[in-house]
């Protein structure tokens, strides 16, 4: 009889909301934004499905669009699933933008 396999502990620091938030990602070496949508978002980061993925450790300028309002921050690529997507950690949200994002995630609204 097979023994049950223990599940991996959830490493997430905060709850995630399944939501398609529009993002503009801008690499340091490019003026052209990459426009994508999140598959989920939390107060500390998001996951974006994209076929051309970015290297872990890359840092980008990010604009998140919440209810037609732009939140600007920096983000670092923390996970990479080639030809599927990237996980991003927000690293420089202002306190006001952090409060708006927290409200958005907690209320589950777009």
Structural domain contains residue 64: yes
Q: Quick check: pTM over 0.85?
A: no
Q: What is the CATH number of the domain that holds 57?
A: 2.40.10.220
Q: pLDDT digit string (tens) for 55-85?
A: 999 999 999 999 889 999 999 999 999 999 9
Q: For residue 92, give its domain range.
A: 22-102
The structure tokens 């209320």 sit at 107
Q: What is the pLDDT of residues 10-28, one digit of tens each?
A: 455 667 789 899 999 998 8
Considering its fold, how many domains does the chain have in total? 1
Q: b vs e for 36-61, b when ≥16 Cβ sit within 10 Å of the residue's Cβ?
A: bebebbbbbbbbbebeebbeeebbbe
């Amino acid at each position: 009889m097979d023994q049950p396999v223990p599940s991996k502990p959830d490493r997430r620091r905060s709850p995630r909301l399944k939501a398609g938030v529009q993002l503009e990602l801008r690499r340091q070496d490019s003026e052209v934004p990459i426009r994508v949508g999140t598959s989920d978002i939390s107060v500390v980061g998001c996951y974006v499905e994209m076929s051309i993925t970015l290297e872990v450790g890359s840092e980008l300028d990010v604009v998140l669009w919440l209810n037609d309002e732009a939140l600007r921050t920096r983000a670092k690529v923390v996970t990479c699933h080639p030809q599927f997507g990237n996980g991003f950690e927000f690293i420089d949200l202002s306190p006001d933008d952090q409060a708006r994002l927290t409200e958005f995630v907690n209320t589950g609204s777009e």
